[in-house]
């Protein structure tokens, strides 16, 4: 095939531009103390068991872009969303972005970010929903999927959810929510409700009810906490602590442009010891 001089020149020009711009780096946030993050020579990142160079390691704190999801279905514990949102706004740093969401009977997100206590109250009003009787829908997987899909371009993406894990009335399933969280690189923080902490009228006492959410939190390097009768501290205390821990993670910038995508497995060690990290690379 004959290639014109103009085409060859254009191809060479595009190649030069690509080289000048350098590799497209992907950020992965991992649980690593600041001292070890700074001493990145001892870090070993593997993708599908193949070593991948780390271009840069940056200790926290970093901005966090979080969606705060609350299950408002009739089977849930009563929760003062306005009060929780106000407390969360006090914990937010100026560079953070917290958005409020509720699910049941539908999934609703606030247009107002939790930048102040007044803004938090406004956000709580925006996501308020009226229930129609008991036993209404609780589209947990839809809510998690949509939350992971709306992540901001800056900051550590996170989704936090307070739920009793009775998912009903969904258009999407657990696998959809799981894959979307992996693609977005979002750390999922779960406050689940244990059997003995459920309302007395609940009939949800089923073995393994919270297992799927526990796996989602583990695989995204998030956190899972279960409320029990003996452990019923306010949900916001767990959420604030978890988001603070996430903000102080080590950011690893790596070049995954050589065919890697979110389907490939990650592993990270520091001085030969495993480091808690997402099980997949985000696709960005």
Q: Judge whether residue 194 has pLDDT over 80.
A: no
pTM of the model: 0.84
Residue 12: the pLDDT is: 43
The yes-or-no verdict on residue 205 having pLDDT over 70 is no
Mean pLDDT of the chain: 83
**Neighbour-count burial for 105-139, b at 16+ CB within 10 Å, e otherwise:** bebbbbebbbeeeebbbbbbeebeeeeeeeebbbb
More confident residue, 214 or 262: 214
Share of the chain above pLDDT 70, in %: 78
Q: Give the domains, in start order, of the chain with CATH numbers.
A: 25-60+251-284 (no CATH), 64-247 (3.40.50.410)
Q: What is the mean pLDDT of residues 218-235?
A: 81
C-alpha pair distances (Å), 191 with each of 122, 237, 257? 24, 10, 35
Strands 43-47 and 266-270: antiparallel
Higher pLDDT, 87 or 237: 87
Rounded-to-integer distance, Cα 106 and Cα 32, Å: 38
Task: Give the mean model confidence (pLDDT) for residues 27-48.
Answer: 86
DSSP string, 17-52: HHHHH---EEEEEE---HHHHH-GGGEEEEETTEEE
DSSP assignment letter at 83? H
pLDDT bucket at 103, cuts 50 / 70 / 90? very high
Query: pLDDT at residue 207 above 70?
Result: no
């Amino acid at each position: 095939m004959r290639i014109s001089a103009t085409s060859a020149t254009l191809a060479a020009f595009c190649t030069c531009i690509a080289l000048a711009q350098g590799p497209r780096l992907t950020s992965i946030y991992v649980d690593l103390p600041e001292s070890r993050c700074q001493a990145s020579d001892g870090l070993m990142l593997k993708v599908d068991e193949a070593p991948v160079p780390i271009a840069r390691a940056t200790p926290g704190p970093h901005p966090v872009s979080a969606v705060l999801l609350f299950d408002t279905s009739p089977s849930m514990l009563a929760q003062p969303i306005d009060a929780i949102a106000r407390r969360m706004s006090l914990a937010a740093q100026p560079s953070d972005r917290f958005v409020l969401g509720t699910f049941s009977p539908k999934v609703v997100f606030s247009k107002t970010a939790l930048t102040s206590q007044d803004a938090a109250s406004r956000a709580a009003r925006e996501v308020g929903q009226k229930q129609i009787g008991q036993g209404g829908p609780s589209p947990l997987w839809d809510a998690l999927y949509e939350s992971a899909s709306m992540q901001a371009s800056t900051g550590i993406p996170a989704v936090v959810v307070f739920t009793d894990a009775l998912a009903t009335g969904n258009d999407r399933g657990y696998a959809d929510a799981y894959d979307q969280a992996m693609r977005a690189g979002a750390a999922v923080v779960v406050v689940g409700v244990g059997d003995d902490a459920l309302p007395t009228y609940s009939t949800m006492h089923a073995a393994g009810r919270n297992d799927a959410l526990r796996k989602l939190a583990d695989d995204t390097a998030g956190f899972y906490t279960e409320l029990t009768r003996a452990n019923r501290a306010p949900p916001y205390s767990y959420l604030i602590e978890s988001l603070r821990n996430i903000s102080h993670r080590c950011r690893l910038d790596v070049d995954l442009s050589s065919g890697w995508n979110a389907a490939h497995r990650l592993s990270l060690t520091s001085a030969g010891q495993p480091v808690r990290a997402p099980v997949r690379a985000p696709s960005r």
